[in-house]
Copies of this chain bind each other. A is one copy, B any other.
Amino acid sequence: MNDGSGLNLFFNPKSIAVIGASARKGTVGYVIVEQLKKKFRGKIYPITPKYPEILGIKTYPSILDVPDEVDLAVIALRATLVPKIMRDIGEKGVRAAIIVSGGFSETGEEGAKLEREVLEIAKKYNIRVIGPNCIGVLDNYSGVDTFFLPEERLKRPPKGHIAIISQSGAMLSMWIDWMALKGMGLSKAISYGNKIDVEDVELLEFLEKDPNTKIILMYIEALKPGKGRKFIEVARRIVSKGKPIIVLKGGRTRKGEKAAASHTGAMAAGYNIYRAAFRQAGIIEVDTMDEMFDIAKAFITLGPARGKRLLILTNAGGEGVIASDFAERYGLDTPEPPEEVKKILREKFPPHVIVKNPLDLTGDTDDERYRIALEELLSRDLYDIVVVITPPHPPSIKGYVIDYIVDAWRKYRVPIIAVVTGGAISEEFAKKIEEKGIPSYQTPERAVRVAAALADYGVFLKQQ
């Protein structure tokens, strides 16, 4: 059961009971029913003795009164009531519970006692538990949604292929809202709170088999004690099979570790141990949230780079310089083309274009110079990845460059990443190029970071 397969009831239940359902708009027990009603195609059983129906759905005073089988129970009642409810759902034969209620170990010894009691009951009845003190599960394909904030307050992203596991529920909900704004597609999002049962490794194993998940993002403060070795093994297997895992680690410094200890209670192993584990597993570790979503965006359409040879193509010298600085920082190579290829390019370009890498096509470039550079350089297997800086401002840029970039990417299967710095005209240009599958960033620093992630990932895959 411990290979993630036991988790299917959390994501694809046929029926869900919401225990602590409420008819009071805006409450946790209301919003969960409301969201499920909108999206979940299975049966919904709101459990409450207070209301005969909620949003037109018949309620039951106790889960024991539900006439049919229940696959998943979502518990949103105060902590002291949870042990009794757990026994009830055990008797009912429910095998999966998401306990969103807080008031457990995060509040002190009394809560911790209650938490141990809940865990014992779960074991006795063979109930798998996500939580307590969590926001639970959002599954964009099955419609399971226990995130208990209404969509007016928290947008949900469109269906897509990014899954997120986050140790912080609040942060995860903000990310969800952010992804919705950016139009980034989500498959599943999970936050497990105090994780008395289901934790990171098993969730990874589940996502490994999920056909809708192609990229996995994680926010980790501390893995469950004793899970390190298994985490590396599972993550490495997933990554090797082509699903990138991108991790943001909280608690990397003394101050951060201290804050994490008081946040999730878990004492973290030293950061160096995590770093080594991430590296060993081929996980892409990011420094910031911006990096996380920048890299995730690239993986939606681009595959790994075959190696570390980066071509920087620009019409803005300064951005080429900064891209070079960051290439060095992130360990990318920026070889110049061999002399015979330089000669070919020199013949095709005006004399003031100096053929190096970065290749500065200069401020008066038209779209055509981009086409020539990409064609001559990528057709010769000189580069594994390209950062192309294409400000759309000069009138000599007509916009064909977008097609030239897309054509080169398709023809030579070398990932290409765009930099489009600027305002409204740049955003419009960026949107157009992204619609064709080329991820675009406001700054060369961010684009080169992404290029390095694709290259590191490719190098890792080659070594497997």
How many A residues touch B, CB cutoff 8 Å? 88
- A421 and B289 contacting across the interface, CB-CB below 8 Å: yes
| B residues in contact with A351, CB < 8 Å | 107-108
A199 contacts partner chain B, Cβ-Cβ < 8 Å: no
User: How many copies of this chain does the complex contain?
Assistant: 2
| B residues in contact with A446, CB < 8 Å | 288, 290
- A325 and B421 contacting across the interface, CB-CB below 8 Å: no
- A393 and B425 contacting across the interface, CB-CB below 8 Å: no
| B residues in contact with A154, CB < 8 Å | 393, 422, 425
Instruction: Give the contact stretch, choosing among A121-129, A352-360, A371-379.
Output: A352-360
| B residues in contact with A167, CB < 8 Å | 318
Instruction: Give the contact stretch, choosing among A47-55, A68-76, A171-179, A431-439.
Output: A171-179
Instruction: Give the contact stretch, choosing among A9-17, A258-266, A340-348.
Output: A258-266
- Give the distance in Å from the alpha carbon of A262 to the alpha carbon of B150 in the complex: 55
A 396-451 contacts with B by CB, 8 A: 421-427, 442-443, 445-446
| B residues in contact with A380, CB < 8 Å | none
- Give the distance in Å from the alpha carbon of A446 to the alpha carbon of B445 in the complex: 15
- B168 and A325 contacting across the interface, CB-CB below 8 Å: no
A194 contacts partner chain B, Cβ-Cβ < 8 Å: no
- Give the distance in Å from the alpha carbon of A263 to the alpha carbon of B287 in the complex: 30
Question: What are 11 A-B contacts with C-beta separation under 8 Å?
Answer: A154-B425, A168-B317, A171-B316, A171-B317, A177-B422, A177-B425, A178-B422, A179-B423, A255-B334, A256-B328, A289-B443
10 A-B pairs closest in CB distance: A168-B318, A181-B423, A256-B325, A170-B316, A263-B317, A171-B318, A253-B328, A177-B423, A177-B422, A250-B321
A: which residues have CB within 8 A of B? 26, 102-103, 106-108, 149-150, 152-155, 166-175, 177-182, 219, 221, 248, 250-256, 258-260, 262-264, 287-290, 312, 315-325, 327-329, 334, 351-352, 354, 356, 358, 360, 363-364, 391-395, 421-427, 442-443, 445-446
